[in-house]
Chains A and B, each alone.
Chain A
Amino acid sequence: MTPQVLMDGVVAGAMIGLGAIGITLTYSILRFANFAHGEFISWGAYLALAIASALGTLTGGDVQPIGPFSFGWTLPVALVLAVILTAGLALGVDALLFGPLRRRGSAVIILVMASFGAALALRNMIEFIFTSSPRYFSTELQIAAPVGGGMRATPDQLLTVAVALILVAAIHLLLTRTAMGRSMRAVAENRQLAGLAGIDARRVIRTVWALGAGLACVAGVMSGLVVQIRPEMGLDLLLPLFAAAILGGIGSVPGAMLAGLIVGVAESMTVAVVGAEWRAAVAFVILVVILLVRPRGLFGRAG
């Protein structure tokens, strides 16, 4: 096993961590496991791809890469627009599906099953619109450069890790230092009391959907940038996302990111030591172990 395993794990873990933040926020506020969250990752990546391609075509198709990166100016612009559209998609799914179920007072299992249905529908829509062939943001070849400690990384990989860490810090500050963050924590702890304290829970729920889906979009674009874009990319990430959300402790943003990194490194080490065919099993094993040993996760509160 080489130090490179650690670097590969951190890159994969950064994407898992970002996706897990959305899972942990929606779970702590809406109290159900949203299995459609992975599809926001896929939709985010495909929307960014479609917008970046359209922008490239509109500007004559000659988009030069920015500095050492493999992509041109169209991708950052597409990312911003895709974040907005993915947030809109999540709000649309909530308005059409989860919102009516909540108002009816549906049991948690109904919401979970509905999320399975939404996931299937969203994934098949991607295949219908974009086909199942793998796609790429860029076909530029990048050479991994030494980053110290015997590890190498491409500029795109380093960028994804940096973006993930910046976003985690920003979300953590949002939750702890702003009125909306306090409202989110209040609704997560006691929705009824939050209403009595003057908080509009519906507004908080909309914010959480938009935030979670926006982060999922960024995770999807990062995954598409350093790996590839496929309709199943969100589905494949789902188990690691849940493992990270639960390992980090439901509701904990730094916990989700740290746990994402742990899951990513564990997967990477498994590939190096046991074999690539066992990669998918790692998240499952981690999930089972946490649920048995410390169900509240690393940073979750007892109770």
Chain B
Amino acid sequence: MNAPLLATRALTSGYERDLPIVREVGMEVHEGEFLLLLGPNGAGKSTLVKTIAGLVPVHAGAVTLGGADLTALAPHERLRHGLAFVPQTENVFTTMSIHENLLIAAQVLPRPDRAGRIAALYDMFPDLARLRSLRAGQLSGGQRQMLAVARALIVGPSVLILDEPSAGLAPKVVSEVFARLREINRGGVTTVLVEQNVKAALAIADRAVVLVEGRVRLDAPAAGLAESDTLGKLFLGGHGRQHGTTTEDRG
């Protein structure tokens, strides 16, 4: 198989030095892949993706993107390498208009490219185009998530990481958000999704990684996982050997 686009190598991280939340996580995401990150509450999923985005201190290990070591880089520098992250909450500038949110994100691009890129995003998200002067704080939950995704896509990232974009959204809106994420992934953007909405997320993902207590417990194709009892066992604290590739399998 080709070299992974995004990888973590024995990554250990946490907000406090003596209290690691993510423990020696080795994870690989290949170009064009849609990876789903699952796990029970407190498993360290959000901490892992925040560490990859540069928001949580790394205690040991490394994060690489396209072979480049990002471990010591600040979030804005990681974005310039092509790594975009959409946090679960507070993911838009609420005091600014939709257009200003996109203008801020576009500042990373060369000046002549900015207007064209924003126009392309408006084509992709017509609702945002229609409401461009509206303050982001006035948007509905679904619209806000779409703005957050559009903001992340403006730079044309190679990897898009999302932390529970369905949180707090109505089921119908969740379906729309997921359909849009799949569409974006099919457009060539490698996607990593942290999600509690397991069944719906498995339906759009290629592969799933399950974290339990900060460690990878399962790494398997998404297809068929929803019907198996493997996930249930892991979510309920089972530590036995599971189907797919476990950390023990990789040695």
Contact = CB atoms under 8 A, between A and B. Distances in A.
Given A185-B95, A193-B91, A199 B107 contact: yes
A216 B217 CA distance: 58
Interface string A173-200: 0000001001101100110111111111
Contacts of A186: 93, 96, 104
A103 to B, nearest CB: 12
Main secondary structure on A side of the interface with B: helix
B104 A183 contact: yes
Contacts of B76: 195-201
Nearest to B75: A195
A31 to B, nearest CB: 15
B231 to A, nearest CB: 30
B107 A179 contact: yes
A198 B155 contact: yes
Interface residues of A, number: 18
Nearest to B155: A198
A301 interface: yes
Nearest to B83: A196
Interface residues of B, number: 27
B93 A196 contact: no
B230 interface: no
Contacts of B164: none
A199 B74 contact: no
B104 A199 contact: yes
Given A186-B104, A190-B93, A193-B93, A198 B87 contact: no
B107 A198 contact: yes
Given A196-B53, A196-B87, A198-B80, A183 B107 contact: yes
Nearest to B54: A195
A301 B54 CA distance: 30
Interface string A199-217: 1110000000000000000
Interface of A: 179, 182-183, 185-186, 189-190, 192-201, 301
27 contacts: A179-B103, A179-B107, A182-B96, A182-B100, A182-B107, A183-B104, A185-B95, A186-B96, A186-B104, A189-B95, A192-B90, A193-B90, A193-B92, A194-B104, A195-B74, A195-B75, A195-B76, A196-B53, A196-B75, A196-B152, A197-B79, A197-B104, A197-B151, A198-B76, A199-B104, A199-B107, A200-B74
Nearest first, the 3 A-B pairs at minimum CB distance are: A198-B108, A195-B75, A198-B79
